[in-house]
């Protein structure tokens, strides 16, 4: 049987994957899940509960109790939340606890868009359309710095670039579901692109995948 039309959008922090995923979801009328938010929520809720982020069992217990209605908290969008997310995301038990929710989201009959680090490799390896969105670390740091300063966080560009490099290393170097393009993902480097150009390029990639899916 034909799988639902699932679009996976993976890639490193501030590559533009969230924006691209949002545009694709709107274009195809599909529901979207920002899976980074799940890890951010676990990291922040663990910190609030006084849990050591290295404690895999306690972090996984938070992950198991997480519900969709908890995700609107603006604290999950801060710089500290991204760092906490990547620290809890190394634990296989945390990843396992968040897996069912993501797989269930992807199984909606009309399809879905999921963005993250391991959507095309682990969560939806059978997805008909896969993108891996990337950009040079300096470009990503500049985007993240603008976003955070607009949110009122007082932080320098050099610190953000350092964060981005460390996060790439941790996310790409971990043993459990490391950040990687799936073998059948199409790479989209947005370093020299505006948002509109990146969204158009993503749309063209997905159109080609959709044409193949329709005739499959």
Q: Are 12 and 168 in contact (CB under 8 A)?
A: yes
Q: How far is CA 74 from CA 57, 58, 70, 151, 165, in A?
A: 26, 23, 11, 10, 24
Q: Give yes or no for residue 86 binding ligand C5P (CB under 6 A).
A: yes
Cβ-based nearer residue to ligand C5P, 54 or 214: 54
Tell me the C-alpha distance between 133 and 181, whole Å: 9
Q: Give yes or no for residue 116 binding ligand C5P (CB under 6 A).
A: yes
Among the listed residues 39, 105, 145, 213, the single contact to ligand C5P using CB under 6 A: 39
Q: Buried (b) or exposed (e) across 59-70, using 16+ Cβ within 10 A?
A: bbbbbeebeeee
Cβ-based nearer residue to ligand C5P, 41 or 186: 41
Place of tokens 């959507």: 119
Residue closest to ligand C5P (Cβ):
36
Q: Give yes or no for residue 16 binding ligand C5P (CB under 6 A).
A: no
Size of the site for ligand C5P (CB under 6 A): 14
Among the listed residues 63, 129, 171, 206, the single contact to ligand C5P using CB under 6 A: 171
Among the listed residues 40, 91, 130, 140, the single contact to ligand C5P using CB under 6 A: 40
Query: Quick one: which segment of 79-87, 104-112, 142-150, 203-211 binds ligand C5P (CB under 6 A)?
Result: 79-87
Cβ-based nearer residue to ligand C5P, 143 or 167: 167
Cβ-based nearer residue to ligand C5P, 89 or 199: 89
Q: Give yes or no for residue 167 binding ligand C5P (CB under 6 A).
A: yes
Q: Are 180 and 121 in contact (CB under 8 A)?
A: yes
Residues that bind ligand C5P (CB under 6 A): 13, 35-36, 39-40, 82, 85-86, 89, 116-118, 167, 171
């Amino acid at each position: 049987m034909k799988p639902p039309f699932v679009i996976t959008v993976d890639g490193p922090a501030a590559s533009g994957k969230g924006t691209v995923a949002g545009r694709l979801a709107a274009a195809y009328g599909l529901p979207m899940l920002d899976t980074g938010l799940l890890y951010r929520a676990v990291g922040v809720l663990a910190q609030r509960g006084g849990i050591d982020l290295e404690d895999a069992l306690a972090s996984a217990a938070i992950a198991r109790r997480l519900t969709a209605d908890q995700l609107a908290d603006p604290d999950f969008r801060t710089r500290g939340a991204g760092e906490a997310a990547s620290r809890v995301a190394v634990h296989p038990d945390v990843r396992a606890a968040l897996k069912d929710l993501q797989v269930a989201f992807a199984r909606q009959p009309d399809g879905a868009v999921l963005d993250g680090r391991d959507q095309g490799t682990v969560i939806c390896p059978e997805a008909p359309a896969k993108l891996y969105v990337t950009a040079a670390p300096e470009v990503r740091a500049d985007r993240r710095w603008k976003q955070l300063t607009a949110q009122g966080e007082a932080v320098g560009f050099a610190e953000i670039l350092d964060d981005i490099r460390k996060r790439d290393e941790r996310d790409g170097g971990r043993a459990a579901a490391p950040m990687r393009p799936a073998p059948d993902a199409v790479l989209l480097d947005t370093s020299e692109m505006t948002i509109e150009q990146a969204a158009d390029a993503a749309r063209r990639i997905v159109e080609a995948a959709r044409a193949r899916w329709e005739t499959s």
